[in-house]
Amino acid sequence: MAADMTVKILDESVGNVVLINLKGGKVIRGNLQGFDQHMNLVLEDSEELSEDNKTNGLGTIVVRGDNVVMISPPR
């Protein structure tokens, strides 16, 4: 049941900017282009956010699902 809700929320977030918290404390923001059953994510126009409010542009990336701690969907 929870997995179905997660997939529904991710599906509704495709094409929008999401915030991803990763293992190790990294935070990435990017435009969600797609995902798969393993929660691997494709982000476009992504950037890494640092604690001192600086950003590092990453472009189009694939985030492996087992590194994802939390995904914040758009409001």
CA–CA dist 62, 4 (Å, integer): 22
pLDDT score of 1: 55
Give the pLDDT of residue 75. 74
Q: Domain-by-domain residue ranges, the chain?
A: 2-72
* % of the chain exceeding 70 in pLDDT: 99
Fold that domain 2-72 belongs to in CATH: SH3 type barrels. (2.30.30)
Q: How far is CA 60 from CA 23, 32, 34, in A?
A: 20, 10, 12
The one-letter code for the residue type at 69 is V
Q: Could you read off the pLDDT tens digit of each residue along the chain, which spans 75 residues?
A: 577 888 898 999 999 999 999 999 999 999 999 999 999 999 999 999 998 989 999 999 999 999 999 999 887
Alpha-carbon dihedral 22, 24, 26, 27, rounded to 10 degrees: 40
